[in-house]
Structure 1
Amino acid sequence: MSQNLYLTIKGSNETETKVLEALNYNTSHLNFLSIKREIDSLQNSLQKIGFIENEHSEILKSNDSTFSTIFNLKNQYQSIHIYYNNTNITPKVLTYISRDITPEYFTIAFKDIETTLNFINKKQTEEGYPFSQLKLSEITIKNSTTLKATLITAQKTEKRQISNIIIKGYKKFPESYLKHFLKIKPGQLFNLTEIKEKTSQLNNLRFATETKSPEVLFSKDSTTLYLYLEKTKSNAFDGFLGFGTNEDTNQLQFDGYLNLNLTNNLNYGETLRLLYKSDENEQKTFEANASLPYLFKTPIGLDLLLRIFKKDSSFTAVNQAAKLHYQINPKHKIYTGITLTESNNLLSTNIPTTLIDYTTNYYTLAYEFITYQPNNLLFPLNTKLYIESNFGSRKQDNNNQKQSLFNIDTFKILNINLKNSVYFKLTGGILNSDDYLENELMRFGGINSIRGFEENSIYASLFNVLNTEYRYQLSNSIYIHSITDIAYYENQITDTEEKLYGFGFGLGIFTKAGLLKLNYANGKNENTAFKISNSKIHISLIASF
């Protein structure tokens, strides 16, 4: 039956004993070989903090189970002067690790030698020398607290550049995304750390994901990079059904929409969106939206939009837009283009009205910022900011009216911990004009705006909506949330300034069919009381295929 052996170590004086105890060496061992290894490890630890001349006495057996030894730490060196060749290492790199730099040497704390050499080696790897080697030579004593040494760098090859990129798994991955989205292309200096950081951005694409880390094959004259990708389900079908009680007829009314997103079906990274919406107050919307990235393998993309809106038998509005976008990096994108609108009054009466035929022509500038949290199945997007400005004029009855239109759409998820989060969303718009027409006003309200109100039932020349949710994830696929919505809007035609409120709760379940959402919300304005009959229930399903 084996017994534990015990090790006691002391220094040559009380101060040295405290230094040894602070290193927290292991005192309990299974055999004598383990004791010897522990003493060797302790010596290495002492050398790393400057006691390079330390030595210990013979290991003595105090009794059947206890062994002891005495260390003499001797002098502790606090710093080291490292002499270097400034053709191999630039002073700019050294500014990250030392405050005492001369053209011949730099000074660091002795305990930082290992981390310093690793840092310099990492920087040389980033500069295209993956096989760079470093070592300290000619180590001598400068004085009682300082050593000096020469840094030897061995760069066995010329700078390495990426000569070829091979994609495994998803062979039809659009090459333009390598060059412009990831910014990886043949001819670049080889830097595996930087490449891994860039390819991790692939998880932000809806149509591809990285299955394992990049690998590289070095030959005498080439450096081949292998990327392991997989095509993912990127098409989405989104629809909702809403129902509530009509205040005039007291009858149950239904409304809803169908939203189809087709992404990367041609392996080009393209997106096509088709939307049809029928609201409970006899409003119909059809929208077709196409995004074509990296035209002719350039960083420029094209966005096209057609939207047709019909308000019962009152008016129609047709919006057409064409924008060019530039993807600065995976998070930032800018837009510029034109937006044309034509609206027609469908009423046949001669009664004076603010519904008048008109056309507008806007020049558009926009900016978009997006961050992701790809490991979250329920909420893959963490932040979005979209700001758009439009400048132009409205033409009616041979009269031109200068106008400007500004829109914002932004949200942010604050993750408290793995289960709890808070969601904030702000949407708004302002139309600046000397006079206003009813059929040009912005429309909001409903599940994608202020909940508890009919879809697109509120007309405004200025509005902003703040949506907030406290979310609690019961599991990776189920969450519940509160609904607290606040809105303010102005209508220059009716001279209205009003605040609106929406309160309720919701549930989300990730099923085999997709993400199923159920929302219950009750809306009111600031001068009315809550009525149960004004409540709205919204059911939506987002399915990927």
Structure 2
Amino acid sequence: MNRLFYIFILVICPFFNSIGQNWNLIIHNQAVQDGMKRFDYEKTPKDSLTGLRTVNQYVLSLHEASYLEAATDSILYKKDTLEAFVHIGPRHHWSVLQSGNVPDEYLFRSGYKQKFYSNTKFSFKELAALENAIIKYSENNGYPFAVIALDSIDLEQTYFRATLNYHSGPLIRFDTVAIIGNARVKRKYLESYLGIVPGSLYNQQKVKNLERQLRQVQYLKVTKSPEVFFSKGNAQPVLYVDTRKCNQLDGYLGFQPSSKTNGKLLLTGEFNMNLKNLLQSGKELSVQWKRYDVQSQLLNTSYLHPRLFHSNVDIKLNFNLLKQDTSYLVLDRNIAVFFGLSPASKIKFSTGLKSNTAIGTTQLANIEGANSDFRYLNYGIGYAFNSLDDIFYPMTGWNIDVGVSVGNKKIINYIMPVNPEDAIPTTSTQYGADIDVQKFFRIGKKATLLNHFQGGTVQSENLVLSDLYRVGGLKTLRGFNENNYFVSDFAIYTLEYRYFTDESSYVMLFVNQGYIENKLNNNYTDWPIGFGTGISFSTKAGIFQFIYALGGAKDQPISLNLSKIHFGLVTRF
């Protein structure tokens, strides 16, 4: 019994002593050349397996540095020490890499030039990048089964000679798209949206983008990842999609302290109608009405006609009306043309006519030109990018929308001030820029963190009140009255944490920090901040949302008496 005990001590205990202790790794280089670059490695791996991996990575680094003969000769284990003997060998260079039978167009697209592979150091990464570029171009131009390899390999002393050997495989063309599910959408429109034209050359990149593009369509629900079936030179994409409720009717009711001193609450409201996939062809119609003051309201309408004549061109018509108490009435007509650059990005060109009509003599304090009539003809360019994983309830991805505009503005029926020095030009050039960037970071399985930045600026020598942005409320600066601030420049950063209890319900915590400036009001500036919490959850009637927010600024102290409550019901059909 005692003898067995001593054997246990001598054999087993050293094993346990090594647990939790790092090993020592020593790599002996054999046949090292003078002036050779030193390759560092981790000398204290946590265990022997990690040490072996380190040795293998060391050899791969030598291969990448053109030492093609590098190899591990032997490995010795000594208690907690691992010794590896690595043969280095000479450093190899390209003698020449011949283009072989690779088509000239493929070589040009891949960036191949023979001088890059003649009398230069050999690199596995560069060779792999070249071969991948050739295969990728083949896959996107009708040859998804293409292969490439090195042929006629000749290793002579320190020089390496080879020839590219390319096999294209059969030519493949797209067949008509097959739709499996109850999705109500015209196949031709869907093929145009996905960029898949029956009879066109097979494109692997378009196939890779299928699922992401489908998930960004509000009226489609992806039930299974798309598949592609090949038969007799044809490739048929198969889409597994069902109809998703996306047509939207929703309204919000809000309570906020009245601007008067009677202590009463003011009831505000908003109504939204968004109709998607009209005539099963992706067309959209939206109407928004909002009342944010006793005598102020707005109406925004738009119509989107996608894939004009089955091209990658979308056209959007907008008509907006704004009535600001008894001061002015603004009409804004706009037409925008979108050109698809990729499945996720678009460039926009627009033109519009904005007019302002004074409907009263009321002027806000220290605001010049508040009731001036004008006509503003403008032109703009913009860019949009969307990589969200879900259009309604995103967890990851970007949503970017930026644009700039410029135009000629003419003030009509301008009333000269008493002091001529306070007069503004009746004609001028007006500039504008807008940005809206959202980035969602997934946190675990059920939470996401939204970083949202939005801002805008308008510049002109004859700015009037109706040119300014209206900031504040649920969609911009929470914790403040709807459209509380009239600003010429603003920037708002929102950090919002959402924890999902199911795929369409979540609770949130948020904080938004803003910067505002009004150049018409003695360059008034402020840094308002808002914060709060909210909840959004699914019911049989729709999506119910409740948000409670507090805000603080120069003109509004942080106070529970000035808190803002927003709640509403979003129904989709």
TM-score normalised by the chain length of structure 2: 0.68
1:453 aligns with 2:464: no
Quote the residue 1:61 is aligned against: none
Alignment match, 1:415: 441
Match of 1:267 among 277, 280, 292: 280
How far the C-alpha of 1:319 sits from its partner, in A, is 2.4
Aligned partner (choices 509, 516, 537) of residue 536 of structure 2: 509
- 8 Å Cα contact 2:322-2:329 kept in structure 1: yes
1:286-365 superposed matches below 5 A: 286-329=299-342, 330-346=344-360, 354=369, 356=371, 358-365=373-380
Question: Is 1:253 aligned with 2:266?
Answer: yes
Q: Is the 8 A contact 2:328 2:356 kept in 1?
A: no
Other-structure match for 1:497: 524
Alpha-carbon shift at residue 474 of structure 1 (Å): 5.3
Who is 2:494 aligned against? 468
SS in 1 for 2:208: helix
Preserved CA contact (<8 Å) 1:355 1:437: yes
Local SS of the residue matching 2:212? helix
Deviations 1:122-151 (A, max 9, x none): 654444334445567777x74578887776
Distance in 2 (CA, whole Å) between partners of 1:391 and 1:449 is 26
1:228 equivalent in structure 2 = 239
Q: 1:135 to 1:328 in 2, by over 3 A?
A: closer
State the match for 2:470 in structure 1.
Answer: 443
Matched AA of 1:430? V
Q: What SS is found at the alignment partner of 1:530?
A: coil
**Deviation of 1:310 (Å):** 2.4
The structural deviation recorded for 1:228 is 0.9
Letter of the aligned partner of 1:196 in structure 2? K
Q: CA deviation at 1:250?
A: 0.9
CA contact (8 A) 2:536 2:545 kept: yes
Matches of 1:192 and 1:540, distance apart in 2: 44
Q: How far 1:288 sits from its partner (Å)?
A: 1.5
Q: CA 1:243–1:99 in 2, change beyond 3 Å: closer, same or farther?
A: farther
- Residues in 1 aligned to 2:530 and 2:50: alpha-carbon distance in whole angstroms: 59
2: distance between equivalents of 1:348 and 1:213?
Answer: 60
Matches of residues 54-93 of structure 1 in structure 2 within 5 Å?
86-88=100-102, 91=107
What's the counterpart of residue 422 of structure 2? none
Deviation of residue 171 (structure 1)? Answer: 7.1
2:219 corresponds in structure 1 to: 207
Three-state SS of the structure 2 residue aligned to 1:289 is: strand
1:66 corresponding residue in structure 2: none
Check whether the contact 2:202–2:235 (CA below 8 A) recurs between aligned residues.
no
The number of residue pairs the alignment matches comes to 473
Letter in 1 for 2:373: Y
Instruction: Give how far 1:384 is off.
Output: 1.9
Which residue number corresponds to residue 486 of structure 1?
514
Deviation string 1:254-304 (CA, Å, 9 cap, x unpaired) is 212011111112122221111111124431222211121233334333222
Instruction: Show CA shifts across 1:313-338 (max 9, x none).
Output: 44433322233333333312212212
User: Alpha-carbon deviation of 1:121?
Assistant: 5.3
Instruction: Report the Cα offset of residue 113 of structure 1.
Output: 9.8
In the TM superposition, residue 86 of structure 1 has moved relative to its aligned partner by 2.4
Q: Distance in 2 between matches of 1:507 and 1:82?
A: 66
Contact 2:98 2:164 in 1 (8 A): yes
2:173 alignment partner, SS class: coil
Amino acid in structure 2 at the alignment position of 1:383 = N
Partner residue in 1 for 2:381: 366
Within the alignment, does 1:532 sit opposite 2:571 as a pair?
no
CA distance in 1 between partners of 2:178 and 2:202 (Å): 17
**Which 10-residue stretch deviates more, 209-218 or 243-252?**
209-218
Aligned counterpart, 1:237: 249
SS in 2 for 1:495: coil
Q: Is the 8 A contact 1:328 1:334 kept in 2?
A: no
Amino acid at match of 1:86: G
Tell me the secondary structure at the aligned position of residue 264 of structure 1.
strand
CA deviation after TM superposition for structure 1 residue 156, in Å: 5.2
Structure 1's unaligned 5+ residue stretches are: 1-13, 26-48, 55-72
Partners of 2:177 and 2:187 within 8 A in 1: no
Are the counterparts in 2 of residues 98 and 107 from structure 1 also a CA contact under 8 Å? no
Pick closer, same or farther for the CA change 1:466–1:152 going to 2, 3 Å.
closer
Paired amino acid for 2:378: Y
1:237: how far off? Answer: 2.9
One-letter identity of the residue aligned with 2:460: N
Matches within 5 A, 1:24-39: none
Deviation for aligned residue 1:505: 0.9
Q: Which moved more, 1:234-243 or 1:468-477?
A: 468-477
In structure 1, give the amino acid aligned to 2:475.
N
**Alpha-carbon distance change, 447 to 51 in structure 1, aligned in 2, over 3 angstroms:** closer
Deviation at 1:115, TM superposition (A): 9.9
What percent identity do the matched residue pairs reach? 15
Mapped pair 1:129 → 2:155? no
Q: What amino acid maps onto 1:185 in structure 2?
A: V
Distance 2:368 2:127 in 1: 82
